[in-house]
Structure 1
Amino acid sequence: MGHLITLATSLNQWALDFEGNYRRVLESIRIAKQRGASLRVGPELEICGYGCLDHFLEGDTVLHSWEILALILASDEALDIVCDIGMPVIHKNVTYNCRIIIHNRKILLIRPKMWLANDGNYREMRYFTPWAKHRQTEEHYLPRIIQQVTGQVKVPFGDAVVSTVDTCIGVELCEELFTPASPHILMGLDGVEIFTNSSGSHHELRKLNTRIDLIREATQKLGGVYLYANQQGCDGDRLYYDGCALIALNGKVIAQGSQFSLNDVEVVTATIDIEDVRSHRTARSRGMQAAQAERYQRIEVPFALSDDTFGRAPTAKMEPHFHIPEEEIALGPACWLWDYLRRSRTQGYFLPLSGGIDSCATATIVYSMCRLVADAANRGDIAVITDARRISGEPEDSTYVPVDAKEFCGRIFHTCYMGTQNSSADTRGRAKELAQSIGSYHVDLNMDTVVSAVQTLFSTITGCKPRFKVHGGSSAENLALQNIQARLRMVIAYLFAQLLPWVRSRTGGLLVLGSANVDESLRGYLTKYDCSSADINPIGGISKTDLKKFIAYAQGSFDLPILESFLTAVPTAELEPITETYVQSDEADMGMTYNELSIFGRLRKVEKCGPYGMFTKLVNEWGSTLSPVQIAAKVKLFFFEYARNRHKMTTITPAYHAESYSPDDNRYDLRPFLYPASFPYQFGKIDATAKKLPDRTTEGTSSREDPGVD
């Protein structure tokens, strides 16, 4: 006997967009029923959106969630199907992150989350309380607007399972899958055969395999069906929730949704034979453990998920699909940018295009977004076409369809090369050719008169004329003259972003894109309030190493030969005069390579190393190529520069989160910004230890500057 089980996932919900979220939930239920489904599961907190943050502390958010749930319960679409729906619930004056199981205008169970995500990007315990009464329920009195629909006054609230005529369903929420003692283990031993997991899990490079491994493992030893629903899209913050809904049976994946998509609703379906679960659970050792398992309260309901239809084949197992990191960079930030653009009600993006690899990567990601829009338009996606018409300023009766990525890019993407006397013909040429290749509306200007005006103002007021270092100036003069150029670029960027649509006889304004990578932010190698200060930054969570690999990938995949010249160019800010003996270099300015920065970043954030801990690890890893004293010097330089530039992270542009060592002060990396930058005790201990350790470098390699990174 087959069960057709549908997972409605990748709902692109938007925080506080109650009406839009309601429409998407109903559409997912409609599609699920159309495919013959008897069970539908949606993403975490889908009614209000996962990213409400401190709005979860407002009574309005809970009230409006109940109002939307009442509409769903009353709708014909929600009849004759079990639906697992997420929203916040206040029980006895305590707010919980809950799943509400409904069927035929009745609430069967309200299941609160027991283990909350409370690290990294997540602060669930700021808003919610975990349910601590495991395998216990209480009575929850329903709001009157729900009573009027369901005829119920109170329903079970707590840790229970739903027992149907033919099987048993248990609920697990997001973080609970990642905990060492996940609830599905005890539920499975007590006879639960179908597990649902509603998630709000964000994209991070190379992270998906961890999630899929855990989902497969959940039923590999235990047996059972695991339905995993995840939000997809930007729901209002730095995160992109990357979908990838999964249905697994006895440790094998039988259905997988897309990881990156412009779709607002995606439904993943699979047909399973529940007898396969029972035959998988015949092991004697499993039976002995199950016989001793603690009992879950069963909420009994007189309906079956299965029917007596024959001739329906169960869904075959499949190998899960993983994008390579280069594809993840091409797709994740691009989808995030599209959501941000269409929801911000602006007319496009503006990017200061410097001719360097970072702004090149940002421009290429915007072009990738345009490619996705064109692909969706060619498939006839009405929602994407409608948004594209509005964004590009088309009238309501327009028949325009953005089927050509380059043409659409010219409508919504604006680039500008802001040159000075310190700029080279190479960077200007690369910027222009890239703009032509992707089709952006490009402006090329010299800003020397603006820079000169500011310098003249300073000299007039003070009577002093600052000089660059190559002209005999001090370090303070040299840095100030560089920062003038960088900060004026930010001012000019916002001027052009506000007025370029007007120049083109259009209305509205543009969002300014930043292009500082995660390594530069970590090191503080950027000017505060320069053109790295923008509205959003699609590459702010991506390392220089990964960006180079992405550019190499896009060169062939996007047919952009010009990208080769960006890969071979020496990274330079071009803020100092070029002479016969001096050309400014980013890595020389920083005193460390980008590869080293990636290593420092991972040790600092992911492996939680302080200065001394980082030194001891690197002595083991780099000891064959660098002496302990050399390693000590590199570690001390990194922490000194990190500490004295940390204040820059307090104003960093909101960036797409993609890397586990992001230094984003506003959300992900909660550390002080006023440090004893010389770390006297820590550095002293490093120096003392370095002097005692033997030098293990071999002759001819001890001066190597870059130990490298994979």
Structure 2
Amino acid sequence: MRIARLATCALNQWALDFEGNIARVKASILQAKEAGARYRVGPELEIPGYGCEDHFLEVDTIEHSWECLADLLRDDTTDDILCDIGMPVIHAGVRYNCRVFVLNRQIVLIRPKLCLANDGNYRETRWFTAWQHPKKVEQHRLPMSVVSVTSQNYVNFGDAGLDFLDSTLASETCEELFTPNAPHIQLALSGVEIISNGSGSHHQLRKLNTRMDLIQSATAKAGGVYLYANQRGCDGGRLYYDGCACIAVNGEIVAQGQQFAVQEVEVVTADVDLDTVVGFRGAFQSMAVQAAGCEKHPLIKVPFQLCFENGTSHVPDPPRPVRYHTADEEIANGPACWLWDYLRRSGASGYLLPLSGGADSSSTAALVGSMCQLATSAAASGDERAAADVRRIAQLSDDAPLPSAKEFAQYLFTTVYLGSENSSVDTRSRSASLAAEIGSSHLDVKIDAVITAVVSFFHSVTQRTPKFKVDGGSTVENLALQNIQARIRMVLSFVLAQLMPWVRGKNGFLLVLGSANVDEGLRGYMTKYDCSAADVNPIGGISKGDLRSFLRWGAVNLGFPTLASVEEAPPTAELEPIRDDYVQNDEDDMGMTYEELGVYGRLRKISRLGPVEMFRRLLLEWKDRFSVDEIAEKVKRFFFFYSANRHKMTTLTPSYHAENYSPEDNRFDLRPFLYNVRWPWQFRKIDEIARKANAEKAD
């Protein structure tokens, strides 16, 4: 039996943190060696960090990556273990995203990425070029910083695999797994038994099953061993890379790491029987025919043995079911881990949240509570890095007892109820109750004096005093008075965030959390420079429907029972006066329901439909719910408000990316912010189609 112990990993890397990144790379290699593995694969671009973006265009980034690799090769870290490292390389004047295979202080192969990710959140073709010579190998001249360590002047560079004394191994990188003509197919036909994938794949709600299905299918048809490595954590942007390193054999998962965790280094190992790969493929005659006739990948001979000398003394790891989280668990963990990375790396001493007692701000508060639970749990379980970060952020001495989650929240989390004469007793009560359950330092303040001062200032300038609509004012006056309250809350939040640590005799500053959900961003149902002007927003990529489900789940599973009463309350901004016959309601204000917004968002972004095609689609999907004219009016109303408020997307708080119809303007949803809001051509076409549909019904 040819039994090999293989290792993959998830690393919490940080863009341009070369010192920290190479330390985590080394730690993962040492853990793999201690576990007895002879091969270790790491995440994509693990040395500089995946999210360097335009820093990849700087020669410094490539130079520092080589310096880190030279440091890795300088000692015995790579002795007796093949290490598969992700980093950028400039070859013949062209910048490539590469896997660098090193063994016994030598570089044995540099493999450039063949297919680049260039949609959604990814812009790899802006920084890298895909390798244009499949199954070809060239010679790459090494920089002197590496030559001085390895005494190698040239190494193999190209699309090739490695041929060991007892097995064969090759790699593909992230996006290549998702392509129709994936490299692993040709590698399998070339007889390669072990295929690895160093990846930088982000979390998105309900996405993991897609990735795991592809990993399993990579070897389900053609057999083989597949190792998947991934980054985990926030490396400096809106994405959270969700780990889940795993190993598959002949289409079945035999090892799987965690998807969400504050742990910086996780190594996953498995013992695999390579003879089962031979048996699997040998029983598949049509594959044998294709393999016999295909052009083989070049294989670089490496005098090294991957398998145990006595395979019969080792038992291969058996298949296991894939672990999936529910959407509620994903919401509870992903944004919480992202917030933890952002907090501990930003230099801030905590978070401040304007807690209104509504669904969105309460969800955000619950996520900070979840973050505190995750961090203190990791620290208590022996994670030294987590323990050090907990004590540093809480401003405790190195030998102080570790705080509980609730105690930790009191140190770092400030919530403030910024009430006005338009606020209700219910929201004030829910805000205080939830803060007590989480453990935050809570403030309950009235802002009427500041609002009155602004209105008085306006009166002194114009001798006019605006009124709310319920008091006889116009729509313009009503909206202006609401916006005054919203913007004052933003200003006061930043004042408190900057000064409350000083008031309490602590060092540092607090980051202000925003709490606008993805549907409100899409509709533009927010005041510009209120919640859209916070520091970070953990729920900005989550739909209202998912948040309501999360509130019900969190009331039980996070230990915050007030969340249940929050979810039951009707959504309201509480910016207008409450009367016996009138209470402001979000969906009435928007002119559409949150459920409808989710439909519009998915059709606009995921299905890529403009106004006319969206109308045609909804004529079919909503035919039993609304009349033709009602559907036409709904579509036109959505596109009017979407385009009229699109400018607000340019000021949205940087948000955790969790939903594929996010309107985030910075890089994910690249659309104009100045529209003709009347959409004359498109709306005229909708009217024409509606008339025709009504005529057909009449006949």
TM over 0.5: yes
Which has the higher mean CA deviation after the structures are superposed, 70-79 or 454-463? 70-79
Pairwise CA distance, 1:17: 0.4
Establish whether residue 47 from structure 1 lines up as the match of residue 55 from structure 2: no
Superposed counterparts of 1:274-423, under 5 Å: 274-282=274-282, 283-309=284-310, 310-395=312-397, 397-402=398-403, 404-423=404-423
Which residue number in structure 1 is paired with residue 120 of structure 2? 120
What are structure 1's unaligned runs of at least 5 residues? Answer: 699-710
Pairwise CA distance, 1:381: 1.5
CA distance in 2, matches of 1:438, 1:155: 56
Establish whether residue 528 from structure 1 lines up as the match of residue 508 from structure 2: no
Which residue number in structure 1 is paired with residue 624 of structure 2? 624
Establish whether residue 137 from structure 1 lines up as the match of residue 128 from structure 2: no
Q: Residues 235-264 of structure 1, C-alpha deviation per residue, up to 9 Å, x if partnerless?
A: 000000000011000000000000001110
Q: Identify if the C-alpha distance between structure 1 residues 696 and 343 changes in structure 2 by more than 3 Å, giving closer, same or farther.
A: farther
SS of equivalent to 1:140: strand
Pairwise CA distance, 1:457: 0.5
Q: Residues 113-138 of structure 1, C-alpha deviation per residue, up to 9 Å, x if partnerless?
A: 01000000000001001101111111
Q: Identify if the C-alpha distance between structure 1 residues 414 and 695 changes in structure 2 by more than 3 Å, giving closer, same or farther.
A: farther
The one-letter code matched in structure 2 to 1:42 is: G
Pairwise CA distance, 1:640: 0.3
Pairwise CA distance, 1:696: 10
CA distance in 1, matches of 2:75, 2:232: 25
Which residue number in structure 1 is paired with residue 228 of structure 2? 228
Q: Identify if the C-alpha distance between structure 1 residues 559 and 426 changes in structure 2 by more than 3 Å, giving closer, same or farther.
A: same
Superposed counterparts of 1:9-158, under 5 Å: 9-158=9-158
CA distance in 1, matches of 2:6, 2:520: 45
CA distance in 2, matches of 1:295, 1:508: 60
CA distance in 1, matches of 2:279, 2:4: 19
Superposed counterparts of 1:280-679, under 5 Å: 280-282=280-282, 283-309=284-310, 310-395=312-397, 397-402=398-403, 404-679=404-679
Q: Residues 363-386 of structure 1, C-alpha deviation per residue, up to 9 Å, x if partnerless?
A: 001000111112112212111110
Pairwise CA distance, 1:2: 4.2
CA distance in 2, matches of 1:378, 1:696: 69
Which residue number in structure 2 is paired with residue 178 of structure 1? 178
CA distance in 1, matches of 2:159, 2:495: 56
- 2:111, 2:159 within 8 Å by CA — same for their partners in 1? yes
Q: Identify if the C-alpha distance between structure 1 residues 219 and 616 changes in structure 2 by more than 3 Å, giving closer, same or farther.
A: same
SS of equivalent to 1:498: helix
- 2:177, 2:214 within 8 Å by CA — same for their partners in 1? yes
- 1:7, 1:228 within 8 Å by CA — same for their partners in 2? no
- 2:162, 2:170 within 8 Å by CA — same for their partners in 1? yes
Q: Residues 628-664 of structure 1, C-alpha deviation per residue, up to 9 Å, x if partnerless?
A: 1110100000000000000000010000000000000
CA distance in 2, matches of 1:3, 1:526: 59
- 1:2, 1:314 within 8 Å by CA — same for their partners in 2? no
Pairwise CA distance, 1:531: 3.0
CA distance in 2, matches of 1:673, 1:398: 53
The one-letter code matched in structure 1 to 2:535 is: D
The one-letter code matched in structure 2 to 1:324 is: T
Pairwise CA distance, 1:697: 10
CA distance in 2, matches of 1:444, 1:531: 19
Which residue number in structure 1 is paired with residue 262 of structure 2? 262
- 2:603, 2:609 within 8 Å by CA — same for their partners in 1? yes
Which has the higher mean CA deviation after the structures are superposed, 535-544 or 5-14? 5-14
Which residue number in structure 2 is paired with residue 701 of structure 1? none
The one-letter code matched in structure 2 to 1:462 is: T
Q: Identify if the C-alpha distance between structure 1 residues 697 and 236 changes in structure 2 by more than 3 Å, giving closer, same or farther.
A: farther
- 2:519, 2:543 within 8 Å by CA — same for their partners in 1? yes
- 1:196, 1:227 within 8 Å by CA — same for their partners in 2? yes
TM-score (norm 2): 0.98
Q: Residues 423-450 of structure 1, C-alpha deviation per residue, up to 9 Å, x if partnerless?
A: 1111111101110111100000000000
CA distance in 2, matches of 1:241, 1:460: 53
The one-letter code matched in structure 2 to 1:65 is: S
Which residue number in structure 2 is paired with residue 708 of structure 1? none
- 1:555, 1:563 within 8 Å by CA — same for their partners in 2? yes
CA distance in 1, matches of 2:6, 2:543: 38
Pairwise CA distance, 1:694: 4.1
CA distance in 2, matches of 1:17, 1:5: 30
- 2:44, 2:173 within 8 Å by CA — same for their partners in 1? yes
The one-letter code matched in structure 1 to 2:99 is: R
Which residue number in structure 1 is paired with residue 685 of structure 2? 685
Which has the higher mean CA deviation after the structures are superposed, 528-537 or 595-604? 528-537
SS of equivalent to 1:90: strand
CA distance in 1, matches of 2:366, 2:271: 40
CA distance in 1, matches of 2:488, 2:6: 54
CA distance in 1, matches of 2:653, 2:198: 31
How high is the sequence identity, in percent, across the aligned residues? 57
The one-letter code matched in structure 1 to 2:361 is: S
Pairwise CA distance, 1:473: 1.0
CA distance in 2, matches of 1:695, 1:214: 48
- 1:625, 1:697 within 8 Å by CA — same for their partners in 2? no
CA distance in 2, matches of 1:136, 1:532: 50
- 2:467, 2:481 within 8 Å by CA — same for their partners in 1? yes
CA distance in 2, matches of 1:451, 1:539: 28
CA distance in 2, matches of 1:330, 1:697: 48
Q: Residues 304-349 of structure 1, C-alpha deviation per residue, up to 9 Å, x if partnerless?
A: 1012233210001001000000000000000000001110111000
Q: Count residues with an aligned counterpart.
A: 696
CA distance in 2, matches of 1:417, 1:331: 25
The one-letter code matched in structure 2 to 1:203 is: H
Establish whether residue 245 from structure 1 lines up as the match of residue 245 from structure 2: yes
CA distance in 1, matches of 2:559, 2:274: 48
- 1:514, 1:536 within 8 Å by CA — same for their partners in 2? yes
SS of equivalent to 1:87: strand
Pairwise CA distance, 1:194: 0.5
CA distance in 2, matches of 1:697, 1:218: 50
CA distance in 1, matches of 2:695, 2:540: 37
What are structure 2's unaligned runs of at least 5 residues? Answer: none
The one-letter code matched in structure 2 to 1:343 is: R
